[in-house]
Amino acid sequence: MTTEASSSTNGPVSARHARVAIICAAIVAGMVGLSYAAVPLYQMFCRTTGFGGTTQVAIAPSEKVLDRTIVMRFDANISKQLKWKFEPVENKFDLRIGENRIAKFRATNISDHTTTGTASFNVSPEAAGIYFNKIECFCFTEQTLKPGESVEMPVSFYVDPEMVNDPDAKQITELTLSYTFYPVKGAEHAGVSGNAQKSGG
């Protein structure tokens, strides 16, 4: 009788433990899935709202150009792990709102081996991020440079005229487009990306 009682008692307990184990496993799996989804969801949120000065992507220039101008400044930075020299070809210029312009940056590989980099970017003040539209940009692809190689990399962009109707952004008179290059680990060194124009090396 003792054995039967023990078996009947352990049955429901074992079933409860099994259910708890399954629930815990499902929670862990869900958390792992959310961690992988968090980055693309955050990037989508930033692109949609301009959060943190995240810029937008456009497929064509603006059809409207205003008489109002702003000062565009350009900032270039390099991760300590990437042995490149990186700088804007032109530090600043005046830009009409809605006007499509091309700015160029120059990168030089100062290491003794081929390396690949990728650029992050943002615009400041942050309120202008949602109105800053890139049509083409070297930051859309990875860039690979041979030792001593130098390239000029263009970015084609405009500022959406709708910015002047935004209470938080209409008073902006200067914008800074900033890039930071980071190394791409494990990248295949197959040559310079098509976005970059060779300028020497």
Residues 24 and 64 in one domain: no
Overall average pLDDT of the 51-76 stretch: 84
**Confidence band of 60 (pLDDT split at 50, 70, 90):** confident
pLDDT the model gives residue 186: 73
Best CA proximity match to 120, nearest among 85, 160, 159, 76: 76
CATH number of the domain where residue 137 is located: 2.60.370.10
179 and 146 assigned to the same domain: yes
pLDDT score recorded for residue 159: 96
| Amino acid in the structure at residue 195 | N
Task: Give the chain's domain count.
Answer: 2
pLDDT, tens digit (0-9, with 9 covering 90-100), for 141-166: 999 999 999 999 999 999 999 999 99
CA distance 89 to 49: 30
If you average pLDDT over every residue of the chain, what do you get?
Answer: 79
pLDDT above 70 for 89: yes
| pLDDT band (50, 70, 90) for residue 44 | very low
pLDDT tens across 160-181, in order?
Answer: 999 999 999 999 999 999 999 9
Residue 102 or 36, more confident: 102
| Order of strands across the sheet that contains 115-124 | 92-96, 69-78, 174-183, 115-124, 143-145
In the predicted structure, residue 122 carries a pLDDT above the cut 60: yes
CA distances in angstroms from 49 to 56, 188, 200, listed in the order given? 9, 34, 39
* CA distance between the termini of the chain: 90
Of the candidates 33, 49, 65, which is a domain's last residue? 49
pLDDT > 70? residue 107: yes
For the CA atoms of 195, 124, 43, 50, what is the dihedral angle to 10 degrees? -110
The pLDDT confidence band at residue 110, using thresholds 50, 70 and 90, is very high
Structural domain of residue 196, as residue ranges? 56-200
Residue 73 and residue 116 in one domain: yes
Based on the fold, state whether residues 93 and 33 are members of the same structural domain.
no
Same domain, residue pair 38 and 62: no
Predicted pLDDT of residue 132: 96
Report the percentage of the chain scoring pLDDT > 90.
Answer: 61
pLDDT of residue 52: 40
pLDDT at 185: 81
Give the pLDDT confidence of 75-88 residue by residue, as tens digits: 999 999 999 999 99
